[in-house]
Amino acid sequence: MQTRRRLHQTDQQDYSSSSTYTIQADHQGGAGAGTGSVGTGTAVGSVGLLTQSLVPPTTGHEAAIHIGDTNQSDNSIPSPDYSDDKYGKAARQWNLRAFSGHALRTLSAAAAVVTGNQPGISNDSQSQYTNYPASIPSSSQFYQSKEEPQEPEPEPEIFIMAARDRTGEFANAIRSLQARNITRAVNIRDPRKAKQVQSYSEFMMVARFIGKNIASTYAKLEKLTMLAKKKSLFDDRPQEIQELTYIIKGDLNALNQQIARLQDISKDQRRHTNGKHLVSHSSNMVLALQSKLASMSTDFKQILEVRTENLKQQKTRRDQFSQGPGPLAAHTVSPSTAKQGSLLLSEENQAVSIDMGSSDTTPLLSTQTQMAIYDDSDNYVQQRAETMQNIESTIVELGGIFQQLAHMVKEQEEIVERIDTNVADAELNIEAAHGEILKYFQSVSKNRWLMIKIFGVLIFFFLFFIVFMS
Amino acid sequence: MVKLFALSIFHKGASEARLLKTASDLQSFSFFQRGTVNEFMTFASKTIVERTQPALRQSVKQDAYMCHVYVRADNLAGVLIADHEYPHRVAHTLITKILDDFTAKVSADQWPNGTEATISFDLLPAFLARYQNPVEADPLTKMQNDLDETKIILKNTIEAVLERGEKLDDMVSKSEKLSLQSKAFYKTAKKTNSCCSFT
């Protein structure tokens, strides 16, 4: 069933040649809306291009969608009706100048629906005007479900589909668009606050975008985890894993930059606004995003480590399988077989890929030769790397030993302090005791003199009495 | 005991290997054996170089000797004949170094057609002599040894510190006893002094 929308054109020829969308933004908001009514999203746009949609020049609020058809008898239709003017007025009222083409199209479609009583716009156009998951089937459905306007014009073929009242959806769309450009309305009232709100909403949008990216990168990381954890010997898909790793790395970098930008925005905001809560909220959000990114990077690192472990194991298993049968023609006692546990990461990747290639394609003996020889010439570098690692670990050990030494000496310092205190106490006591004994000695010697004197006096009196009595 | 016997540089041509320079240290063999041993070593080196592909290192065991060979991508090859205990890594380091020096000193056009007489490169014996002792010559090994020695010294130090700790504990207990005794001494002295009457 072919449906058609009416075409408003003054100069049909010119526009029939160019089958492009033009968003005639300023002077007729309705015109842009007219293009918008063609469909949703760029995919739709391509369909529209394919079907030679014609852009109405001046005030046409609908474009013609001819499915396989060129424009027909709609040439002489003048600027049709009041719905156009009403629609244009509505568009101007909401100041749809700076809307993106998508939004304009959506809004105009929605407006056209309501004002011109033209139901049948598909759901996508209104509810998800920011993301256009534009699927061509839905858009074609959209096309086919468009309806003729009820304008008093002689239309030979009018197919009226089921009518649906989408006023509510239109209102929602208007509200969300309004929220996005809230500065417009707010501008009228309070310029300073408008700037705050605008910067805040900008911040929010960037943060939301970053959050979405983080979620998608997480999904990729999960996939990589699953791939890397597979331990089967033959089902390994290194290409995929490497690609995925590369993609995730790029994503992480991009996320890093975006979060840095977000941080700048929030710092900028901090300067302008003096709302404490806004500032703290934005800084919290930045912190949360950063921590998510950090956790994702650590997970990524772990996955890479797991992958290298698996590669090592695979290599050893493969070596076991293919070095079973006897020695080679060249009588080399490869000391390399002993060193297989200590391959470096990059060399190991090379070795694994070469081994996989060789063991898959060449016969067994040449595989052995290739592998043994390869390991042998690899050996030197391995050994050097091992020596370096040894040296490094020794140095680290030495550092640890020094630290222990210092710690022990510090502990012993405490003991020395105790000894010092004890000895000082002892000295004090001895000094005091010494003093006491001196005093005692003095007292003792002092007393003797007194005694001598007293006895002397007593003896004198005694003698005196004896002499005078006799 | 690690020992190097011979060090030679070859150019691996399309059909055969040309000996460009060689140096050997055959002091350990008796005088009459040296000629034979020398020839044998040259022959073995040549064979090995011919059997090795470019950009490859190999260490081949031959009776009592270990033959280390490194053929570079530009067909310049170095062979080192040592005993079994000589560390492989040091051997290959030496060969690489020799080849680099040789490349620096002798231009590449002389390689395909040179003989021992025409090419002037005198560092071989010096290197051979120096690398007889791999510990001193190879910086990595030297560092490793130094670090090991340091580790031992540190372990001894820690033991000494532990002993010191024990001694300090002893000291603590002794000083405690001393202080207690001195306190008792003081109390006795004070008590003796308390009754002032002369008795």
Q: Which long-range contacts (CB under 8 A, 24 or more apart) does B33-40 make?
A: B37/B5, B38/B6
Ordered by start, the domain boundaries in chain A are: 189-321+372-417, 419-469
The confidence band for B106, taking pLDDT boundaries of 50, 70 and 90, is confident
pLDDT recorded at residue B64: 82
A288-292, A455-459, B190-194: range with highest mean pLDDT = A455-459
Segments forming the whole domain that contains residue B97: 2-186
Residue type, A41: G
Quick one: how far is CA A271 from the chain centroid?
25
Taking CA–CA distances from B89, the nearest residue in chain A reads: A380
**Tokens 């304008």 found at:** A151
Q: What is the pLDDT of residue A353?
A: 42
Report CB contact under 8 Å: B140, A387.
yes
Q: How many residues does chain A have?
A: 470
From the CA of B118, how many Å to the nearest CA of chain A? 31
Find the closest chain A residue to B48 by CA distance.
Answer: A330
- Tell me: pLDDT of B160 over 90: yes
- Which of A27-31, A108-112, A224-228, A319-323 comes out lowest in average pLDDT? A27-31
For B165, which residue in chain A has the nearest alpha carbon?
A412
Whether B53 shows a pLDDT value over 60: the answer reads: yes
Considering only CB atoms, which chain B residues are within 8 Å of A395? 147
Query: Of A52-56, A181-185, A193-197, A410-414, where does the model show the most confidence?
Result: A410-414
Within a domain: B41: yes
Which member of A379, A398, A408 has the closest CB to residue B165? A408
- Mean pLDDT taken over chain A: 67
Domain covering A189-321+372-417: architecture: Up-down Bundle (1.20)
Contacts of A428 in chain B (CB under 8 A): 182
pLDDT of residue A78: 44
Q: Is B50 within a domain?
A: yes
Q: Specify the pLDDT at position A106.
A: 57
Separation in Å, CA of B31 to nearest CA in chain A: 31
Choose from B185, B191, B194 for mutation: most chain A CBs within 10 A. B185
Question: Does the residue B156 lie in any domain?
Answer: yes
* Beta carbons of A384 and B165 less than 8 Å apart: no
Residues 103-142 of B with CB under 8 A from A: 140-141
pTM beyond 0.80: the answer is no
**Structure token pair of residue B41:** 């070593």
Chain A environment of B140 (Cβ under 8 Å): 384, 387-388, 391
* A366 vs A315: CA distance, rounded Å: 18
- The pair phi, psi for residue A149, each rounded to 5°, is -75, 165
Cβ-proximal residues to A276 (8 Å cutoff; 6+ apart), any chain:
none
Question: pLDDT value at position A445?
Answer: 78
Higher pLDDT pick, A40 / B181:
B181
Q: Is B190 on the interface with A (CB under 8 A)?
A: yes
Residue A34: what pLDDT?
40
pLDDT in the model for residue A259: 87
pLDDT category at B6 given cuts 50, 70, 90 is confident
Q: Do B162 and A425 touch (CB under 8 A)?
A: no
Strand pairing class (B17-24; B65-71): unpaired
Ranking A99-113, A202-216, A342-356 by mean pLDDT, the lowest is: A342-356
Instruction: Identify the residue with better confidence: B64 or A121.
Output: B64
Given an 8 Å threshold on Cβ–Cβ distance, is A384 in contact with B55? no
Minimal C-alpha gap between A305 and chain B (Å): 28
Q: Which is more confidently placed, B196 or A18?
A: B196
Q: Give mean pLDDT, residues A161-185.
A: 80
* Candidate from A120-134, A190-204, A272-286, B143-157 with smallest mean pLDDT: A120-134
**ipTM, 2 dp:** 0.73
Q: What is the CATH number of the domain that holds B65?
A: 3.30.450.50
Who wins on pLDDT, A438 or A7?
A438
Mean pLDDT of B99-126: 79
Range A343-355 average pLDDT? 42
Task: Give the best residue of A337, A377, A414 to mutate against chain B (max B CB count within 10 A).
Answer: A377
The tens digit of pLDDT for each residue in A305-333 reads: 888 888 888 888 877 777 644 444 333 43
pLDDT digits (tens, 9 = 90+) for A272-287: 766 788 788 888 888 8
Handedness of CA A351, A352, A353, A358 (dihedral sign): positive
Provide the pLDDT for residue A315: 82
Q: In this predicted structure, what is the pLDDT of residue A188?
A: 55
Residue type, B136: E
pLDDT in tens, A26-72: 444 444 444 444 434 444 444 444 444 444 444 444 444 444 444 44
Report whether pLDDT(A342) > 60: no
**Look-up: residue for tokens 């320079």?**
B21
pLDDT band at A22 (very low <50, low <70, confident <90, very high): very low
Subunit contact B147:A395, Cβ cutoff 8 A: yes
What's at A262, amino acid-wise? L
Per-residue confidence (pLDDT) for residue A206, from 0 to 100: 85
**Mean pLDDT of the residues in chain B:** 84
Which SS3 state, helix, strand or coil, does residue A454 take?
Answer: helix
Average pLDDT of the residues in B144-150: 89
The per-residue pLDDT for A276 is: 80
Strand B17-24 to strand B56-62: parallel, antiparallel, or no bridges (unpaired)?
unpaired
How far is the alpha carbon of B25 from chain A, nearest alpha carbon, in Å?
Answer: 24
Give the sign of the dihedral formed by CA A11, CA A14, CA A18, CA A23. Answer: negative
> For chain A, what percent of residues have pLDDT higher than 90?
10
How many folded domains does chain B comprise?
Answer: 1
Q: Can you tell me the distance from the alpha carbon of A298 to that of A464, in angstroms, rounded to the nearest whole number?
A: 116
B9: exposed, middle or buried (Cβ count in 10 Å: 0-12, 13-18, 19+): buried
- The pLDDT tens digits of the residues spanning A419-455 come to 999 999 999 999 989 888 888 888 877 877 788 889 9
A163: pLDDT strictly greater than 50: yes
In the structure encoding, which two tokens stand for residue B153, read together?
A: 């010294």
Burial class (CB in 10 A: 0-12, 13-18, 19+), B150: middle
Task: Please indicate whether, in this complex, the C-beta atoms of A430 and B161 are within 8 angstroms of each other.
Answer: no
Q: Is the pLDDT of residue A468 over 60?
A: yes
Structure tokens at A400: 């640890």
Q: Is residue B72 part of a domain?
A: yes
Rounded Cα gap, residues A219 and A225, in angstroms: 10
CA-based nearest distance A354→chain B, Å:
16
Determine contact: B154 vs chain A, CB below 8 A. yes
**Taking CB atoms and an 8 Å limit, are A387 and B182 in contact across chains?**
no
Residue B197 lies in a domain: no
For residue B163, pLDDT over 90 is answered with yes
Tally A–B CB contacts below 8 A.
Answer: 143
Residue B198 counted as domain residue: no
Nearest to B6 by CA among B96, B69, B61: B69
Check whether B103 has a pLDDT greater than 80.
Answer: yes
> What distance in Å separates the CA atoms of residue A13 and residue A55, rounded to the nearest whole number?
11
| Residue A383 with chain B: CB contacts under 8 Å | 88-89
